[in-house]
Structure 1
Amino acid sequence: MPQSSVPSDEGRSDKAPTLPTSTASRVMAPRHRTRVVARERLVAQLIEARRKRCIMLQGPAGCGKTSTLVAWRESLLPLGFELAWLTLAPEDDDLASFIDYLVASLAQIDPAICREAALLGGRGVDDEAVERTVIALVRGIAERSGDLALVVDDLQHIANPRSHKALQWLLDYAPPNLHLVLVSRGTFPVSVGRLRDQDLVLELNMRDLRFTFEESAQYLRAQLGEVSERDAREMHELADGWVAGLQLFAMHLKRHRAPSGARNVTESLTHTHLLDAHALGDYFEREVLSRLTANEVELLVRTSVCARLCSSLCVALVGAEQSPREVLALLERLETDNLFIAQIERVGNETWYRLNPLFRETLLNRFRARSEAVQRAVHHAAWCWFRDHDLPDEAVRHALQAGESTAAANLVLEVARGLQVAGDLRKLVSLMHLLPHAEVEARIGLRMWRLQLQLYARDFEACAASIARLEADIPAGDARTRYRLALLRATVEVQRDDPDRAMEQLPLILNAPPDADGFSVGARAILLSWFYMHSGEYDEARAVQLEPMRVLVDGAPLLGTSAGVLNSRCMTGFSHALEGQFTQVERISRDVLAEAEQRGSGAAEPACFAAALLGEALYEFNDIAGARRLVEDRVDVLERVSIPDSVVRVLSVLAAAHWAEGHHLDAFAYLERLDEYATRQGLPRLQAHSLAAQVQYHLQSGRFDAAEADLARLDMIAARLAPTRPLTHRDVLALAEQAHVNWNIAHEDFESAAMRLPALIALCGERGRQHHVARLRLQSALVDLKRGRTEAAHQSALASLRLGHRLGLVRSILDVAPDVVSFAEQVVRAEPDDAVLAFYVDRLRRAEAAASVLAAPPAPVRSARGALPGVAEALSEREAKVIGLLAQTLPNKKIARTLGISPETVKWHLKNIYGKLGVSSRDEAVARVRDLGLDLDQ
């Protein structure tokens, strides 16, 4: 549900966020002060291939992969390309970390790309969650007008097969404006065979990356001054064009110059024939470290434990053994002499550096040879420095390596709330996974955070187990923590759509302790609003949202932060939606959506909820296409993060919008999706919503057998719920009764319909669902008309139309029956003095006409078999199979099961099919392919 405890910081915007240096070092392109060899040949090749789907650079360390791409980046910018960068490290071989850095790298280009993906953060790393995150990123990129290249450097550090799968999804789903650049020392963990066949891949290996003789000579002369062609060629051949080897040759020769400046190149090279990374490591030992002072070597060995370094961190690692001035001088000399250290960025007064990976490995080998006590002392200094500089992820890692798991656990507990407020749930999940199980179990606070993360991931079985253990272990006197547990327990039941069990927590939730924090107060207000709304007490639901706003702490609302306020306003809008007051819903949701989108990813959750509310309002006001556009691309994320109440309304609106547009296959697909979602989550009320709508659409299509089968399932659900879940049963019973009324009307059994309608109208009236009352009264009027009770029909219709006008209803009236507007006009003609009703019915007539135009079938393609050359051929074999199954009215899940792929992949294929065929729905796609003469039954 909307979490008042998951807000954004005040003043957050969609500008690229200021990242902590730990993240910035991974998601920013390396800097090179000088480039002694321009590599025009390679850069030109890369420029020519810039629009390919994938560029792959493979070669050993030191062959110039990264420096070539940095030069390419500078050439791309004037061409309108933007380039995101992700440098991986050994500690990133974790799916959550990999996805987190991937999102962060793209956010540096435009936070809007990652708004929906960020919302999914921390809500699980199962395949479905990861695939949805990748698709959210892809959609964000596709919405941009320009081209974007994403460099994933040092890919060899990722061995996790699930990370490989995520990368494969990114490659497979990439829109035309995304170009993936993969850089690795080893083989690539992705399949590019299909792309290679389509000439969408550029592959560069060591043969392509190595220097030509001319480039080697240019480099050597830049380093050494005058070099003869013979010497240059000999060094080029010895190094085989390997950039790092040439660099080491140059360094070696600088140190072995004769006093006169002459040198015997052949003799000097005798012991420096370097052809692989192992030899490079030997060289570091022999020719670099051996020539530094003991203090300088000690500094480098200690700093090798950190992925990046700055002068103050180095000072902390060496302690009193070296002065800050000595440390800074060494760093500057290493960089000036190009001794395998690169500047990352400058933040404030600090310059951050990164060691050459192979040089760092050499240093780490020395570090691992130190005593355990020395190693722990260095890690202790690192963890203290990172802790004091608000870099918790690195601090925790070093604390654990220092053997200080207690300190690490305490730090995670300290920073957890801040990470949640910043919307950085993935980082919190990663930190929790790092901690030893015993340290988490020893702290009630960490166990509470684990429960909250389980709730975000919708692991309800784990939630139940955690709650049971916490109830037994929280001290009786800790009222504040027990209250927070009650809130979480109630939230679990809300997410499980079980108002009966949620209501059991109401006495506890009403009795908040005096010292409850702002997040608990905000969560309490949202839960109470939900309780009141399900009881039909909408004024109380809105009033309770005002309570936290009346309490100020340091001049700010106790509720929490800005997104907490936005969630509160969403709940107010939700109460109006349940009541049928869609004018207020539209006003509130538009304002919330605009403000949330300005605040960026931290307020993505209320933005999603507001979009769902606005989509329902737009449909009600007959802006069918607008409603569909607003929520269709958001539905994947919304299913993952929103409460069931919101999910059922969005999927129902999408089904209704497609039905109104004449896209009947798409309408049933969304209802099937709702059924699948409800079955998977164990939500019988949502399943009842799906079945009731399917009964209605089957009846309208004349498929009475299918309608009867769904009606029987609906009755079974109602019967099963009656004895154990009275509140849920009440809602399902209302849906079942409405379905039976529709069944009776379709079979012209008007007497049975008339018997059911009064009780159904009374039930909706008791619960304050006024738009349902208006619809049912109009349906009752049509039934009375069929029964020959003209006066009763007239009076019911007048009451319905007046209520509809007061609420501003449009689709609730139009969807009652095909001839409803003609009937309304007859009723209003009998009331010549009621200008208001006449105006309202005119509005309905105009809306009906607009909807008729929208639902008109597209003009057929008037051409012979094989028309539109190239379109049919553009469909891949898999896409042809998908559309063939689509023509059999199979939902996505059944298509996925048939083809052995995921439902998310089916959705992606459908999007590509629609684009290739120039259509926007399932119905249009099937019609277009049939018009092209393709055999869909093969």
Structure 2
Amino acid sequence: MPPRPPSSRTSKAPPQAPSDGPAPRAAAAPAEQRSGVGVVGRERLLPRLVEARRLRCIVVTGPAGSGKSTLVAAWRQAIVPLGFDVAWFTATAQDGVPARFIDGLLASIARVDPALVQEAARLGSASLDAQEDADAFERLAISLIRGIAAHPRDLALVIDDLHHLQHPAIHEALQWLLDHAPPNLHLVLAARGSQALSLDRLRSQSQTLEFNGRDLRFTLAETGQFLKAQLGDIDARTVRTLHELSDGWVAGLRIFTADWKKKQLEAGRPAQGEPFARVPTRDAQAFTQFFEDEVLSRLSPDELDTLVRVAACRRCCASLCAALVDAPEATASMTALLARLHRDDMFVGPVEGQTQETWYRLHPLLRETLLARFAALDEATRRAVHERAFAWFREAGLFEDAVRHAVRSGQPDQAAALVDQCAHSLIVRGERRELIGLLRQLPPKQINQGVKLRLLTARMQLFERDLVACARTLDSVAPDVPPDDLANQFVLTALRAALAVQGDDLDGALAMLPQLLDTPQDADALTIGGRTNILSWLYTQQGDYEKARRVVLDAPPLMVDGAPLLATAAGSLQGRNLVGMSYAMEGKMTQAERIFRAVAAEAEQGGKSCADAYYLAIGLLSDVLYELNDARQARALLEGKLDMLDRIAIPDALLRVYRVLAAANWQAGSQAEAFAQLERLEAYAMQHKLDRVLAHSLGDQLHLRLLTGELMAAEALLARLDAVHARHASSTLHMPWEISEVTQRAHIRLASTMGDIDGAATQLASLIAQCEARGRQRTVAHLLMKSAAIDAQRGRDASAREKLIDALRRGHRLGLLRSLVDADPTARQMMSELTQAEALDPVLAFYVERLLAARTPRDAPAATPKAGERGTMPAELKAFSEREIEMLRLLAQAMPNKKIARALGLSPETVKWYLSRIYGKLRVAGRDEAVARVRDFGWDMEAPRDNFREG
């Protein structure tokens, strides 16, 4: 019996069928559903498919609309020119009958060459329906295999929508083909969900390639490529929003774009350039219809009712599902339901969970469709679902979900009590982001009713570095804390002191010293630990280094939830960091290094709960390593960590980090990167209004400008530094003294460079005495070396020798290297001449050898003005630095970040930081918008560089 003519049946055809043979059956699905997918080349997947063309079996599984057929069709087009024939059979629900399946399969193969199925067609398929012959399938398969084996070319047999073929006899026939296929037959199976075929033997022989739904998802870049092809230029933020909402689902993106175009046309507005984020997904009726047809229609009423309730939760497991439908005994059936939905690719997939059960989540867009149904339920039913969810999550210890459902079930008091109960545990475990999420779920009225939650809010604002909001919260809660509530008064004081530390306000913190020392008996461990560490920082800033160490080392161990308080800013690891910082500021680098290394190692083992201590240890250790002449390791230690340090480190640590990076890059000959790090430090200081940090940045920039011979730039920096100093000149408080020290050092450097040697010497003598009185031994050693160099210039050799020896002895005692080597360009020469002129004692002689062996920065060429006339800067560009203008020019040339970094001599991380500043100034979300804005302003980014330099 010959195969039935294909024209009598409807089935989905492969898109973009090539013209190498008769076309498969006509498509029933509308062509528009596949439109636009071809614009994404699938470069990740197609080359792997082409390379696997000679394997026995290729399997592509994924949910409806994931691009299975389109991918296989693209593969077909790629392999036909390579000498392959392709037969394509697209199954429908009607093909589940064995005889009908055989007819359709033979018809598809016959389009390649009728001779391939001649014998099989003669045997016919009528007996299969009647089940008259138990061996009929095997004889048909054998005849088909013989026909294909005799074919002179390789044949790829594509069976699309295999999930429609569920009859055991069909599975047996396909298994027979897989197990006994001739070398020139290659099967390609595309389906939703896993199929009842055994591939284990082929897998063991490396004869399979398998793609699943996760492989088929668009990446973020592919999503952007698709959206741009559909709608033209689209901003990066919108691309990311749609990518996350669609989860990379191809059909979802198609529906989004089609629905958006339709709405824009109906409104009489162009579709391009509008943000998708403004379109509520529940307004897209196309999604509802799609999921009704492809998912919900395949569920029983009870299963659908379960999924509607499950949609109220962001994730689910079997026991939770059973609780939501108020049937705890149904856990086993829920386990089977979730496993089946996942197996059949019905937009339900496994996710990582916090209990031993298997956890799942609904596809975001399927969940939106189900939430629309959930919203249609009566209020009592919805509340009951949230109440059950709250009880289940609370019992499981999953507090974030528990609080969310408590609020939605109308129990904000229960939610607030739960947040208060778990807050300290979450903080100690390093789950502060989770705690912030809990607080944000509580109604503002609920938070404002009590003191504890408001103090907790202030603590989290401090963690997020929102210092203005934190101060505002503390000011608002202070009048509501009764004087006799000593515990909460103590929390309020400790938080104000921590806020002062983050604001680099030593004097503000010192003003609270009496209250900090008066610890109430019922104070909690977190507040006591934080108080101890704040005291250590205060004493260190005052130069009382031994007291700073003792307050930490003598403190009794603190416990939270029965475990030692190691993590967070209040933990003992952070306290040990502050002990190390006291040694570093005193100049005792060897002791500091040991402490920082030990803390970093222990904190790394502790994971995210110890992140604060780890990053602070890393930042402070980098300063020590540079001082000990290991600039390369200092840079490597900080690589990729600046963003995190910016978020969690105290100003003291960041000050050291950026100064170290600048010095290390300068030593390595990367002048541009050195200046970039100091500019980044300057921006940080100005953002947070930290004048002490700003002074150090300006002083270091001035120093480097003098080394490159840029006197005018150095003088401009000194004027800014003097202005900072003037703001604090009349103050008798502690912190302005350090600004004064930095300013004096800048004046000394400029005077020395300009030839005012006597003036520099006089200022140096005064500054050395001030630093000596404050116990800053590291600074004293550095200044003595500088003073020795100036005395040598003045011809006062005896004084120069005396100061040089003094600096060397101090440096040796403290373990300093770079402080002496970097003190003056002539330092190395002076030490060399000293060793030649006299015999030093062996210990000092060995120390000098180490200093002379220290790496010297590459000679920096003096800056010379460029020839040519400097033009006028466009008004809009005046907000940008010269470096940012250079970066804009390279952006306009479509240069990626790595090439920009190479072109400007910067690290990729620094380029990323500059770009974030540029985007902020342009008020754009990303690269494409930035380039478009440049063009809108009419800036000529290809013009010579001098055209953008200000006079």
Instruction: Provide TM-score, normalisation by structure 2.
Output: 0.62
Tell me what 1:602 maps to. 609
Tell me what 1:427 maps to. 434
1:806 is displaced (CA, Å) by 1.2
1:804 is displaced (CA, Å) by 1.0
Name the CA shift for 1:670/1:311 in 2 (closer, same or farther; >3 Å): closer
> Does the residue aligned with 2:856 lie in a helix, a strand or coil?
helix
1:922 is displaced (CA, Å) by 13
5 Å-filtered alignment, 1:48-59, equals: 48=46
Tell me what 1:808 maps to. 815
5 Å-filtered alignment, 1:691-730, equals: 691-724=698-731, 726-730=733-737
Tell me what 2:772 maps to. 765
Tell me what 1:680 maps to. 687
5 Å-filtered alignment, 1:818-857, equals: 818-832=825-839, 834-847=841-854, 850-851=855-856
Name the CA shift for 1:151/1:601 in 2 (closer, same or farther; >3 Å): farther
> Equivalent of 2:625, from 609, 618, 621?
618
5 Å-filtered alignment, 1:345-424, equals: 350-354=357-361, 364=371, 367-424=374-431
Measured in 2, the distance between the counterparts of 1:684 and 1:905 equals: 36
Q: Is the 8 A contact 2:699 2:742 kept in 1?
A: yes
Determine if the alignment matches structure 1 residue 344 to structure 2 residue 350: yes
5 Å-filtered alignment, 1:166-205, equals: 183=250, 185-186=252-253
> Equivalent of 2:757, from 750, 754, 758?
750
Name the CA shift for 1:346/1:482 in 2 (closer, same or farther; >3 Å): closer
Measured in 2, the distance between the counterparts of 1:64 and 1:819 equals: 69
Tell me what 2:881 maps to. 894
1:908 is displaced (CA, Å) by 10
Name the CA shift for 1:338/1:817 in 2 (closer, same or farther; >3 Å): closer
Name the CA shift for 1:920/1:170 in 2 (closer, same or farther; >3 Å): farther
Name the CA shift for 1:658/1:713 in 2 (closer, same or farther; >3 Å): same
Measured in 2, the distance between the counterparts of 1:596 and 1:907 equals: 42
> Does the residue aligned with 1:726 lie in a helix, a strand or coil?
coil
Name the CA shift for 1:154/1:334 in 2 (closer, same or farther; >3 Å): farther
What one-letter code is carried by the residue in structure 1 that aligns with 2:605?
Answer: Q
1:170 is displaced (CA, Å) by 12
1:346 is displaced (CA, Å) by 9.6
Q: Is the 8 A contact 2:318 2:331 kept in 1?
A: no
1:893 is displaced (CA, Å) by 5.8
What one-letter code is carried by the residue in structure 1 that aligns with 2:529?
Answer: G
5 Å-filtered alignment, 1:427-506, equals: 427-506=434-513
What one-letter code is carried by the residue in structure 2 that aligns with 1:515?
Answer: D
Measured in 1, the distance between the counterparts of 2:491 and 2:451 equals: 12
Q: Is the 8 A contact 2:695 2:742 kept in 1?
A: yes
What one-letter code is carried by the residue in structure 2 that aligns with 1:186?
Answer: L
Higher mean C-alpha deviation, range 382-391 or range 361-370: 361-370
Q: Is the 8 A contact 2:673 2:906 kept in 1?
A: no
Deviations 1:605-639 (A, max 9, x none): 22221221221122112222222232253233322
What one-letter code is carried by the residue in structure 1 that aligns with 2:881?
Answer: K
Name the CA shift for 1:298/1:917 in 2 (closer, same or farther; >3 Å): closer
1:185 is displaced (CA, Å) by 0.6
Determine if the alignment matches structure 1 residue 62 to structure 2 residue 129: no
Tell me what 1:28 maps to. none
Q: Is the 8 A contact 1:661 1:856 kept in 2?
A: no
1:493 is displaced (CA, Å) by 1.1
Q: Is the 8 A contact 1:153 1:184 kept in 2?
A: no
Name the CA shift for 1:377/1:716 in 2 (closer, same or farther; >3 Å): same
Tell me what 2:678 maps to. 671
Name the CA shift for 1:384/1:184 in 2 (closer, same or farther; >3 Å): farther
Measured in 1, the distance between the counterparts of 2:256 and 2:326 equals: 42
5 Å-filtered alignment, 1:287-306, equals: 292=301, 299=306, 301-306=308-313
Name the CA shift for 1:745/1:284 in 2 (closer, same or farther; >3 Å): closer
Measured in 2, the distance between the counterparts of 1:278 and 1:558 equals: 51
Tell me what 1:912 maps to. 899
Name the CA shift for 1:484/1:310 in 2 (closer, same or farther; >3 Å): same
Measured in 2, the distance between the counterparts of 1:537 and 1:567 equals: 19
Deviations 1:675-715 (A, max 9, x none): 22212211111111122222222222232222222222222
Measured in 2, the distance between the counterparts of 1:532 and 1:916 equals: 46
Q: Is the 8 A contact 2:493 2:515 kept in 1?
A: yes
Tell me what 1:264 maps to. none
5 Å-filtered alignment, 1:100-179, equals: 165=236
Q: Is the 8 A contact 2:321 2:331 kept in 1?
A: no
Measured in 1, the distance between the counterparts of 2:395 and 2:508 equals: 45
> Does the residue aligned with 1:851 lie in a helix, a strand or coil?
coil
Higher mean C-alpha deviation, range 351-360 or range 659-668: 351-360
Instruction: Provide TM-score, normalisation by structure 1.
Output: 0.63
Name the CA shift for 1:711/1:365 in 2 (closer, same or farther; >3 Å): closer
RMSD of aligned residue pairs (Cα, Å): 4.7
Measured in 2, the distance between the counterparts of 1:148 and 1:846 equals: 58
Measured in 2, the distance between the counterparts of 1:539 and 1:63 equals: 69
Tell me what 1:314 maps to. 321
Q: Is the 8 A contact 1:334 1:341 kept in 2?
A: no
Deviations 1:439-474 (A, max 9, x none): 111122221121122212222221221111111112
> Does the residue aligned with 2:520 lie in a helix, a strand or coil?
coil
Higher mean C-alpha deviation, range 349-358 or range 616-625: 349-358
Higher mean C-alpha deviation, range 394-403 or range 643-652: 394-403
What one-letter code is carried by the residue in structure 2 that aligns with 1:792?
Answer: S
Q: Is the 8 A contact 1:698 1:707 kept in 2?
A: yes
What one-letter code is carried by the residue in structure 2 that aligns with 1:844?
Answer: L
Tell me what 2:586 maps to. 579
Measured in 1, the distance between the counterparts of 2:826 and 2:255 equals: 62
Tell me what 2:635 maps to. 628
> Does the residue aligned with 1:423 lie in a helix, a strand or coil?
coil
Q: Is the 8 A contact 2:67 2:216 kept in 1?
A: no
1:551 is displaced (CA, Å) by 5.8
Measured in 2, the distance between the counterparts of 1:920 and 1:323 equals: 59
What one-letter code is carried by the residue in structure 2 that aligns with 1:651?
Answer: Y
Identity, % of aligned positions: 38
Q: Is the 8 A contact 2:62 2:216 kept in 1?
A: no
Structure 2: 5+ residue runs without aligned partners? 1-39, 50-60, 72-214, 228-233, 258-284, 862-870, 912-941
1:529 is displaced (CA, Å) by 0.8
What one-letter code is carried by the residue in structure 1 that aligns with 2:823?
Answer: V
1:412 is displaced (CA, Å) by 2.4
Determine if the alignment matches structure 1 residue 785 to structure 2 residue 792: yes
What one-letter code is carried by the residue in structure 1 that aligns with 2:64?
Answer: G
Name the CA shift for 1:545/1:409 in 2 (closer, same or farther; >3 Å): same
Q: Is the 8 A contact 1:367 1:375 kept in 2?
A: yes
The structure with the largest alpha-carbon Rg is: 2
Tell me what 1:568 maps to. 575
Measured in 2, the distance between the counterparts of 1:311 and 1:923 equals: 48
Tell me what 1:641 maps to. 648
Deviations 1:630-688 (A, max 9, x none): 22532333223211111111111222222223333332222222222212211111111
> Equivalent of 1:529, from 536, 553, 574?
536
1:313 is displaced (CA, Å) by 2.2
1:383 is displaced (CA, Å) by 1.2
1:482 is displaced (CA, Å) by 1.4
Name the CA shift for 1:729/1:349 in 2 (closer, same or farther; >3 Å): closer
Matched residue count: 674
Q: Is the 8 A contact 1:486 1:505 kept in 2?
A: yes
1:830 is displaced (CA, Å) by 4.9
1:406 is displaced (CA, Å) by 2.1
> Does the residue aligned with 2:734 lie in a helix, a strand or coil?
helix
